């Protein structure tokens, strides 16, 4: 008995912590096996529910009193099944993008001008283009008046044009019309959209090499969660254009030939913006087609193929519906030097936070100045720009 008593005394601290004298500990190994088994069972159920969507709700109540809704809210969303039209569009676009890009000595840049009439800076563009014949082509979409030309490079370069209304799909139609005409020349490998208030900020050689040998197209694109961004998305665009893929950006682009081709070929996504991206379609939303179509289109179909910024500088510091217009007194060598030295783009969303984000401008992985062109310049600045042209375009 002494021996037994001695053993019990030696175990006092242990036995006192047990609920009863006849308690037996479950071996740790068995506990681990049960935990693994339970976790495996739950994991198998979750994977099965995700891969094989339920057809009857009764089974869901085994795990949740709220039924299948509770489970579907918790599970990650299953990939949406594309329609036949979406599959066809994506296959065709993928094939177009896979075609090799060939840059030769005869490769040209297409300058596409979107203007209501006469281009006030033709004389400046003449200085810019002179001596580089065979490396560029010019296309003019004049929506209101027949242009009066002052440069030989612009003579007889008008295409068939139609009315353009700011903020409406007619702006996209004009862009696609310019691209279609420019694509008829197989030597055009780069396509730049410009307005009547655009001016060159660099020499032709610098601009040509910058665009022609870039590995991306310069299409502006960013996510604005505010009312003037994602807030403009229309439910009518679903399911082809999800709200989370809706993007915003400036319309002034520079794109390579493959991207120009898929832009002209697109009918599925274009039709969504044609039919539903305009004021008054849904409540108080004011969808602006030229600010959303191309950014959304490329974000969905080739996000890695665009730079997400534009090579055309615009000053939005006045925070109005239209950007600042530079007047003669604004145009100085210092201004032009500052514009050509900018190497990061700023973003301000419309969600009211006022937060500004900066993104560096990368050219084939190297940080470089962002801008090759600038707008909006008033027609009265022409003479000043011509006087300064040789100096500011020669800056490295």
Burial class (CB in 10 A: 0-12, 13-18, 19+), 13: exposed
pLDDT band at 322 (very low <50, low <70, confident <90, very high): confident
What pLDDT does 121 receive? Answer: 98
Do the beta carbons of residue 331 and residue 161 sit within 8 Å?
no
What pLDDT does 259 receive? Answer: 98
Q: Answer with the residue of higher pLDDT: 239 or 58.
A: 239
DSSP string of 189-228?
A: EEEEEEETT-EE-S-HHHHHHHHHT-SSEEEE-B---STT
Does domain 84-312 correspond to CATH entry 1.10.3210? no
347's tokens? 């973003």
In angstroms, the CA 326 to CA 59 distance is 68
Do the beta carbons of residue 109 and residue 189 sit within 8 Å?
yes
Do the beta carbons of residue 118 and residue 145 sit within 8 Å?
yes
Per-residue pLDDT for 34 more than 80? no
Per-residue pLDDT for 235 more than 70? yes
In angstroms, the CA 150 to CA 345 distance is 34
Question: Tokens 């403009």 — which residue?
Answer: 232
Burial class (CB in 10 A: 0-12, 13-18, 19+), 214: middle
Do the beta carbons of residue 289 and residue 167 sit within 8 Å?
yes
Task: Give the list of residues 6+ apart from residue 240 with CB closer than 8 angstroms, or none.
Answer: 83, 86, 268, 269, 272
What is the rounded average pLDDT of the residues 314-338? 92
Per-residue pLDDT for 13 more than 80? no
Per-residue pLDDT for 66 more than 90? no
Sequence spans of domains, the chain: 84-312
In angstroms, the CA 160 to CA 177 distance is 8
Q: Which helix (H) or strand (E) holds 88?
A: helix 84-98
In angstroms, the CA 84 to CA 132 distance is 47
Task: Catalogue the E-assigned strands of the chain.
Answer: 108-115, 136-142, 188-195, 199-200, 217-220, 254-256, 306-308, 312-313, 344-348, 356-360, 362-363, 366-367, 373-374
Task: Give the tens place of pLDDT for each residue, 254-287.
Answer: 999 999 999 999 999 999 999 999 887 887 888 9
In angstroms, the CA 242 to CA 300 distance is 10
Per-residue pLDDT for 136 more than 80? yes
User: Residue 370 has what DSSP assignment?
Assistant: -
Burial class (CB in 10 A: 0-12, 13-18, 19+), 321: exposed
Task: Give the list of residues 6+ apart from residue 43 with CB closer than 8 angstroms, or none.
Answer: none
Task: Give the tens place of pLDDT for each residue, 239-262.
Answer: 999 999 999 999 999 999 999 999
Q: Answer with the residue of higher pLDDT: 75 or 180.
A: 180
What pLDDT does 35 receive? Answer: 67
Per-residue pLDDT for 73 more than 60? no
């Amino acid at each position: 008995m002494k021996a037994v008593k001695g053993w019990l005394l030696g175990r006092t601290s242990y036995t006192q912590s047990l609920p009863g004298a006849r308690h037996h500990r479950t071996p740790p190994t068995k506990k681990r096996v049960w935990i693994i088994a339970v976790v495996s069972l739950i994991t198998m159920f979750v994977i099965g529910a995700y891969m094989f969507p339920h057809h009857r709700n009764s089974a869901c109540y085994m795990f949740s009193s709220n039924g299948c809704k509770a489970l579907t809210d918790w599970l990650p969303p299953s990939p949406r099944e594309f329609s036949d039209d979406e599959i066809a569009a994506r296959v065709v676009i993928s094939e177009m993008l896979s075609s090799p890009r060939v840059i030769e000595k005869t490769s040209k840049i297409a300058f596409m001008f979107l203007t209501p009439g006469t281009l006030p800076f033709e004389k400046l563009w003449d200085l810019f283009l002179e001596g580089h014949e065979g490396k560029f082509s010019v296309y003019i979409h004049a929506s209101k008046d027949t242009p009066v030309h002052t440069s030989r490079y612009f003579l007889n370069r008008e295409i068939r044009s139609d009315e353009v209304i700011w903020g409406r799909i007619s702006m996209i139609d004009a862009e696609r019309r310019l691209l279609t005409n420019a694509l008829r020349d197989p030597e055009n490998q780069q396509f730049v959209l410009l307005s009547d208030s655009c001016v060159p900020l660099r020499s032709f050689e610098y601009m040509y090499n910058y665009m022609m040998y870039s590995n991306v197209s310069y299409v502006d694109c960013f996510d604005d969660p505010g009312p003037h961004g994602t807030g403009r998305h229309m439910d009518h665009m679903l399911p082809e254009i999800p709200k989370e893929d809706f993007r915003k950006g400036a319309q002034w682009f520079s794109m390579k030939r493959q991207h120009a081709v898929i832009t002209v070929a697109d009918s599925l996504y274009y039709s969504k913006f044609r039919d539903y991206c305009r004021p008054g379609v849904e409540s108080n939303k004011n969808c602006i087609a030229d600010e959303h179509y191309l950014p959304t289109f490329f974000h969905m179909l080739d996000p890695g193929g665009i730079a997400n910024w534009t090579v055309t500088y615009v000053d939005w510091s006045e925070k109005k519906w239209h950007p600042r217009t530079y007047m003669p007194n604004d145009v100085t060598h210092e201004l032009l030097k500052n514009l050509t030295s900018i190497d990061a783009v700023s973003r301000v969303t419309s969600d009211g936070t006022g937060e500004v984000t900066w993104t560096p401008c990368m050219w084939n992985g190297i940080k470089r100045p962002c801008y090759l062109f600038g707008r909006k310049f008033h027609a009265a600045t022409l003479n000043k720009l011509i006087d300064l042209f040789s100096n500011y375009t020669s800056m490295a």
